[in-house]
A and B are shown apart, each in its own frame.
Chain A
Amino acid sequence: MARAATTSDPFNAVGDPQRRQIMVSLARGEASVSTLVGVVGLPQPAVSRHLAVLRQVDLVRCRASGRQRLYRLNEPALEPIHQWLGTFAALWNDRLDRVDTILQEEEP
């Protein structure tokens, strides 16, 4: 499947496991680069590079707070992914699909 460059496609931007880890961390709330460094265990320049990619596709936004910049997940930009898969509903759909599979495989 042909895909646009990482810099313009949110699906590709989240294709990197470390960027996904950063996004999942930001789903819990706003964070500074140093907080993210602690959470994802990567050097600060690597975290900054990932944040730059995520900002280019508008998945992450930031604001100044004193001398820090705080990063947050930009939920609306996740909409294509949300619409495709759902989130909380996806979790439960997966569980209940597994329940369904168990029921069906044991029916005569």
Chain B
Amino acid sequence: MNRNSSRLGSAEVTIVDDTSFRIVRAFDGTAERLWAVWTEPAYVRRWWPAPGQALDECTIDLRVGGTWRYAIDQTPYGPQAWRGTFLAIDAPRRIVSTEVYEPVPDAEATNTFTLTEEAGVTTLTVLVTHRTTAARDGHLQSGMEAGLQLALDRVEALLGSS
């Protein structure tokens, strides 16, 4: 059961250019299974929200022109929601979709999700491309805020156990 332990925490987030960043992570498993975990709401509900949070909506209409929306009704910052439209789908290898963080409706990004499988190891790449550098940085900053919250919660857990 611990085959994956060496991969925990191995995701890399890198700046690609003035408007893009990329998330890369390898998994032990087939592209088909990873595709299912990424695109079926029953799975997404288990991995997308932070511990202690739950998605109040997780809708995925996986077809070109179909839409997706993830929403959390109650957070310290009020309701949070993300949505987009699927532009291209090539199961189980590639999805291109738009993404809008609803509190910042003008900053629509294009996400290219790619799976490459080799010898039972599947590498996931998400390339997030914004229209402007400011929008990209705003995205990283909003994530930073959530990441900071997560980091501080862990500090609390550590302090609580000392």
Q: How many A-B residue pairs have CB under 8 A?
A: 123
From 144 to 158 in chain B, residues with beta carbon under 8 angstroms from any chain A beta carbon are: 144-156, 158
Q: Tell me the bound Cα distance from A40 to B87 in angstroms.
A: 40
Q: Tell me the bound Cα distance from A90 to B148 in angstroms.
A: 9
Given the interface contacts A15-B155, A97-B9, does A103 sit within 8 Å of B25 by beta carbon? Answer: no
Q: Which residues of B contact A (CB under 8 A)?
A: 1, 3-4, 7-13, 23, 25, 27-29, 33-34, 37-38, 43, 46-48, 50-51, 76, 124, 140-141, 143-156, 158-159, 162
A3 CB contact (under 8 Å) in B48, B140, B162 = B162
B156 CB contact (under 8 Å) in A17, A23, A84, A93 = A17
A104 CB contact (under 8 Å) in B4, B43, B140, B153 = B4
Given the interface contacts A92-B13, A104-B1, does A81 sit within 8 Å of B76 by beta carbon? Answer: no
Which chain A residues border B51 with CB–CB below 8 Å?
94
From 48 to 104 in chain A, residues with beta carbon under 8 angstroms from any chain B beta carbon are: 78, 81-82, 84-104
Whether the pair B33, A85 counts as a contact (CB closer than 8 A) is no
Complex A-B, nearest 6 residue pairs according to Cβ-Cβ distance, in ascending order? A87-B147, A98-B47, A88-B143, A103-B29, A85-B151, A91-B147
Whether the pair A104, B144 counts as a contact (CB closer than 8 A) is no
Q: Tell me the bound Cα distance from A1 to B159 in angstroms.
A: 9
Whether the pair B124, A103 counts as a contact (CB closer than 8 A) is no
For the complex formed, measure the closest distance between the CB of B43 and the CB atoms of chain A, giving whole angstroms: 6
Which chain B residues border A105 with CB–CB below 8 Å?
1
Whether the pair A27, B28 counts as a contact (CB closer than 8 A) is no
Whether the pair B11, A11 counts as a contact (CB closer than 8 A) is no
Given the interface contacts A23-B148, A90-B151, A93-B9, does A99 sit within 8 Å of B156 by beta carbon? Answer: no
Which chain B residues border A88 with CB–CB below 8 Å?
13, 140, 143-144, 147
Whether the pair B27, A103 counts as a contact (CB closer than 8 A) is yes
Whether the pair B152, A91 counts as a contact (CB closer than 8 A) is no
8 A-B contacts (beta carbon < 8 Å): A11-B158, A17-B156, A84-B151, A87-B143, A87-B144, A92-B13, A97-B9, A104-B3
